[in-house]
Amino acid sequence: MLYRSRLIGFGSYLPKNIITNNDLSKKIDTSDEWIRARTGIRQRHIVSNETCTSMACCAAEQALRYANLSIHDIDAVIVATSTPDALFPTTAVMVQKELGMKKGFAFDVSSACSGFIFALSVADNFIKTGQAKNIILIGSEVYSRILDWSDRRTCVLFGDGAGAVILTAVKPQENNGILGIYLHTDGQYSELLYVEGSPTAQQQNCYVRMNGKEVFRQAVNKLSEVVDEALIKNNLKHKDIDWLVPHQANLRIINGMGKKLKLAPERVIVTVDKHANTSAASIPLALNVAIRDKRIKSGDLVIMETLGGGLSWGSALVRI
Ligand code: UT7
């Protein structure tokens, strides 16, 4: 390892348009009570004229301001998304264009709700090997475009938004930065959570389909394993962790992971109530909230974890 990556910038964007559970209950057979009890979700932000690219740009610009960097300092843009505006050019290339970045490279990473952690690992490796010094990493999603709004089992669960971080290269002996990232996939579970239809077939609609109960069961097991893996490989104990910043899919899963880590509830960052599940954007959105309200501070040890379609799952240990 030539360098360590440190997170030095944080930003986000949420569409102005908010849809509450009660709004949904006027259109489909659901209720605020059911959604809150089963998921913890109270509302979600849904795009009106925003796009995957426009949200990613806003989040990236905010992260650049936080880091006190200009776009000309950036070597690479990576966007984690399953809902790009086009198959290509990639969202990352469009962000590069919109922000006026004239050098370096940009590309997308797709791994459903695990996209941010997978892309964080990619960015981390570019930095560790000296291939890039500063990287903007964005999770941006427009799930409202791939939801079947007549399917109450899925459409109440998701929202739109974008979160961004900036990674920079620091000396490998520095304490702060990414300590380890642990990734897994298992295609034998591909039918539990997938998108039906394909955006490559012209004019064909595509919809998220999920076996919620089974995904829930897998999430509880696999997230436990991958959090243990991060602790064991870094010779850490539960008490060493300051914050859990989990993927925001379901409050019951989030609380279960907090208990497993023996963390007090106030040490678990929860945004699922306000954002719902924003897939690859959910972790950077949650991280951004807790950095800006000054709960998470420099030197704090954060564990992130996620599970999504694939199935794919992973964890990341980061000292802020
Ligand atoms: O980000 C990727 C990872 N995703 C996840 O981690 C999600 C994991 N799964 C879950 O969060 C939960 O399984 C759900 C929130 C999706 C569902 O909760 P559940 O407790 O597993 O409910 P269920 O699917 O077993 O449904 C229970 C009942 C069913 O009725 P019957 O068959 O018992 O009569 C459903 O038809 O609730 C019904 N139901 C609803 N009722 C009102 C399903 N969706 C709704 C709804 N409103 N929106």
Q: Which domains does the chain have, with CATH numbers?
A: 4-170 (3.40.47.10), 177-319 (3.40.47.10)
- Determine the pLDDT at residue 197: 87
Identify the pLDDT of residue 42: 98
Q: Sort residue 277 into left (φ over 0), alpha (ψ -120 to 50) or beta.
A: beta
| Residues facing residue 313 across a β-bridge | 184, 307
CA of 270 to the centre of ligand 1 (A): 20
Note the pLDDT tens digit of each residue in 20-73. Answer: 999 999 999 999 999 999 999 999 999 999 999 999 999 999 999 999 999 999
- The whole-model pTM stands at 0.97
Residue 274: pLDDT band with limits 50, 70, 90: very high
State both tokens at 164: 């961004």
Q: What does the pLDDT look like over 14-32, one tens digit per residue?
A: 999 999 999 999 999 999 9
Q: Find the distance separating the first CA and the last CA of the chain, reported in whole Å.
A: 19
The predicted pLDDT at position 119 comes to: 98
pLDDT band at 202 (very low <50, low <70, confident <90, very high): low
Give residue 125 CA to ligand 1 midpoint distance, Å: 38
Pairing of strands 177-185, 301-308: unpaired
pLDDT at 203: 53
Q: Report the residue among 38, 154, 305 best suited for mutation to probe ligand 1: largest number of ligand atoms under 8 A from its CB.
A: 38
Give the residues surrounding ligand 1 with Cβ less than 6 Å away: 30, 34-35, 38-39, 113, 152-153, 156-157, 212-213, 215-216, 219, 249-250, 253, 277, 307-308
